[in-house]
Amino acid sequence: MCAVFAIGFASCKNAAEHHDAADEEVYDILNLRHQQLFGAETAFAVETPYSKRTPGDIPSVEIILNRFSDGTNLLTLPKALEMAVNHSRDYQLQRETLYLSALSLTGERHKFALKPTNANLDLSRNRSSSNINTTESDASLTLSKALKTGGTLTATLANDLTLFFNGGGPKIPDITLALTQPLLKDAGAKFAEELLTQSERDLVYAIRTFSRYQKTFLVDRISEYLQLLQKKDEVRVQYELYQNRILFRKEQELRLQGELISQFELDQALRQEYSSKVSYINAIESYQALLDDFKKQLNLPLGESVVLDDAELGNLKQFGLQPVPLNDKYGFQLALTNRLDILNNIDQFEDKKRKVEVAANDLLPSLAVVANYSLKDQFYNRNSFDFGDYSGKIGLSLDLPLDKHIERNAYRKSRITFEQQLRSLMKTLDDLRDEIRTNVRTLDKNQQSYVINQKALAVSRRELEKAKLDMLAGGNVSPRDILEAQTAVASAQNAVTAAFISFHTQRLKLLNNTGILNTGLSQFWVKPQPVPGVAPVVPLPPGAMQDVPVLPPAQILGN
């Protein structure tokens, strides 16, 4: 009876205690697994600012008012990354996914723990009109343990306490021990622990997935920040072009008054002015739309004004065009050993092999050893107590189901699923090789585009200055030539910035896609990232880079 009460009171924890107990077990598991995988513990936590509050204490109006907040933030890139990690809804979802994977593992482990599965206590006092009073009281407790051999062990204690309350003296509980051990189907640790094994492996996959996600998340936010800086530069370039159009139109009006040009040529200048004004308005809208998308990634209210720090462009220019000295073949080899998601795909292929064995085992008949031991009707009485008075049984239980249709289909399905996973792994590896090849080619293209566009920008500026001087000197230069030269300068300016930003974002993606990006460095996006097995290459300043001659079609196409 004491045991029943003790177990009953132990189960009466409040919700907060259960919450904390789950966190403690999950965090211990995650720290241990992270240390085994990466050699260091992790400061993982799934809590948010709302986690310590009960749902009833969080009114919807609070959330609504929060999204109405405004203000101004000067957002540097490091600050943006910090805010994204701490406040991003998607990042928090990934944390919770990892937490739930570890929580699921605790449930599978608990299946193999010795635990009470049933506790019952009945007390009653019966009274009738004939003044006959009786007492009925029963207590029972069942403990069970799943064995890693596939068997199950249970212990049941049952006691009739009526004799005790009626003065008959205490009585030892009825004790029954029972063991069931499969010999064919579900026999052995491989099959008995299959769910636990898969849950353990799923947790490893989840940790790898989260670690991979963390790096990809940072690369994506950096790319978005740099693209916003590029858009800011385009806004400025477009505004400068618009102002130049206004000045040129005013000059043309004076020239028309002096009968040096026709109304048609003035209208050309007016049309280009209006067009550049529309382009400027569109550039502003494009920037603001991208900025709103970026705010969503940081979980900032859209009404909040954000000013991006232009100094990051200066940091990138000072860093230069840092090359990544690897070809697509070596990059593919690095990715196979360093990309955590690829390691998951390879291990999941092994899982499907094991699932086929489990499905084949389910086709076997059920043969098990069944044994029990019972001690009953024992009193603390010198004349009747005999601990050796027991009953026991041991035997075999054979189950020969004549219908194996479901198991047959499950086995056949497991073979099909295995081959699907095989093809999926092949496709994953092909996609990875293609991704690396594209990264390498695009990085090289962006570097060459930057050099070429810089030269094109210098030429465009010379053309514009020459056209202006020729027009002032009364040369054979039409207003249309000036307008085209202005457009060429603006386009070249945008192309230089676009190629420069694209190079740096593609460089980070290539390092991340090969699995060698080290995000633990402070401002890692402007720090050299060594390639394993390759000597570091000293980057050239952008102005010192040479234009690489193109290859003729015969060398590219093979004929």
238 touches 269 (CB < 8 A): no
Which tens digits make up the pLDDT trace of 190-244? 666 778 888 889 999 999 999 999 999 999 999 999 999 999 999 999 999 999 9
Query: Mean pLDDT score of the chain, rounded to an integer?
Result: 83
More confident: 341 or 133 = 341
DSSP element (H, E) containing 263: helix 263-298
Checking if the pLDDT of 330 tops 80, the result is yes
User: Domain-by-domain residue ranges, the chain?
Assistant: 1-112+205-319, 113-192+366-400, 324-363+404-559
Closest C-alpha to 294, from 103, 88, 82, 537 = 88
Residue 452 binned pLDDT confidence (cut-offs 50, 70, 90): very high
Checking if the pLDDT of 283 tops 70, the result is yes
- Which architecture characterizes domain 324-363+404-559 according to CATH? Up-down Bundle (1.20)
Residue 163 binned pLDDT confidence (cut-offs 50, 70, 90): very low
Three-state DSSP class for residue 62? helix
| Distance, CA of 402 to CA of 409 (rounded, Å) | 15
| Distance, CA of 40 to CA of 34 (rounded, Å) | 6
Q: Which two tokens stand for residue 388?
A: 């050796």
392 touches 373 (CB < 8 A): yes
Three-state DSSP class for residue 6? helix
pLDDT score for 55: 76
Which tens digits make up the pLDDT trace of 511-526? 999 999 999 999 999 9
Checking if the pLDDT of 429 tops 60, the result is yes
For residues 400-415, give the mean pLDDT: 86
Checking if the pLDDT of 123 tops 90, the result is no
Q: Which two tokens stand for residue 134?
A: 């009786």
Checking if the pLDDT of 397 tops 70, the result is yes
More confident: 262 or 286 = 286
Chain centroid to Cα 351, Å, comes to 21
pLDDT score for 173: 61
- Residues 6 or more apart whose Cβ sits within 8 Å of residue 242: 273, 276, 277, 279, 280
Least confident of 87-96, 169-178, 212-221: 169-178
| Distance, CA of 156 to CA of 531 (rounded, Å) | 63
Residue 449 binned pLDDT confidence (cut-offs 50, 70, 90): very high
Least confident of 234-238, 401-405, 455-459, 490-494: 401-405
Closest C-alpha to 287, from 312, 306, 314, 315 = 306
pLDDT score for 175: 72
Chain centroid to Cα 115, Å, comes to 35
Checking if the pLDDT of 164 tops 50, the result is no
Strands (E), 268-390: 305-308, 366-375, 378-379
Checking if the pLDDT of 152 tops 50, the result is yes
Q: What angle do CA 14, 19, 24 make, to 5 degrees?
A: 125
Checking if the pLDDT of 5 tops 60, the result is no
